[in-house]
Each structure stands twice: as structure tokens, then as C-alpha cells.
């Protein structure tokens, strides 16, 4: 992915230690989920996680925490609401 084309969160200091391949995957996942309802987002996440497994991409808790923090830092208030709802739903075991 071209440096200039990368979203601001992908260039944030918080994610500097995450390998580029993992960042690109997260970027695709975030872009595909942008603007989707919570239900649509949850339906999209399962195939994306399966794809990550096929690509042998695993994320440490530290990497996920850093990526989520960077995404939140560069999100609009509406996006933050959606992100927080999805995170709550995923923690609750839906």
C-alpha cells in the first residue's frame, strides 16, 4: 500500500511495531467495515478472520490493542460509537 494512500491511523506511532502485512490486512478489514451496521460488521468479521487464518496472520493482544487505539484516535465521533458497540458486542460473547 502506498504510504500516501494509507489512512492516518496506519501511520500512527502506536502501530509502528506491527508488520506491514498485518497492517494492510487490518486496513482492508477496516475499509470494508466502514459505514456498515453492527449486524453487517459482525457478519463481515467472521470471513475476514478465517481469511487471516488462511494467510497465517495472527495478532497478539498488544498488536490488536495498539491497532484499535490508533483507529479510535483517528475516528470521527460517529465511527467511535460504532467501534465501541462492536467491541462491547465482541467482549460479551454475543
Q: What is the pLDDT of residue 92?
A: 62
Q: How many angstroms separate the CA atoms of 6 and 86, rounded? A: 23
Helix (H) or strand (E) holding 65, with range, is helix 61-73
* Whether 46 contacts 38, CB under 8 Å: no
Q: What is the pLDDT of residue 70?
A: 94
Question: What is the pLDDT tens value at each position of the chain, 94 positions in all?
Answer: 555 678 899 999 999 999 999 999 888 888 887 778 778 877 888 888 888 889 899 999 999 999 999 999 999 898 888 888 878 877 665 4
Q: What is the pLDDT of residue 17?
A: 95
Query: What is the rounded end-to-end Cα distance, in angstroms, of the chain?
Result: 34
* Whether 66 contacts 58, CB under 8 Å: no
Q: How many angstroms separate the CA atoms of 53 and 9, rounded? A: 23
Amino acid at each position: 500500500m502506498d504510504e500516501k494512500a494509507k489512512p492516518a491511523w496506519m501511520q500512527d506511532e502506536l502501530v509502528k511495531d506491527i508488520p506491514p502485512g498485518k497492517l494492510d490486512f487490518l486496513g482492508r478489514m477496516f475499509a470494508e467495515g466502514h459505514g456498515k451496521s453492527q449486524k453487517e460488521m459482525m457478519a463481515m468479521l467472521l470471513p475476514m478472520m478465517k481469511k487471516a487464518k488462511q494467510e497465517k496472520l495472527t495478532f497478539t493482544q498488544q498488536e490488536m490493542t495498539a491497532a484499535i487505539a490508533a483507529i479510535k484516535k483517528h475516528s470521527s465521533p460517529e465511527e467511535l460509537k460504532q467501534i465501541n458497540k462492536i467491541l462491547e458486542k465482541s467482549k460479551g460473547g454475543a
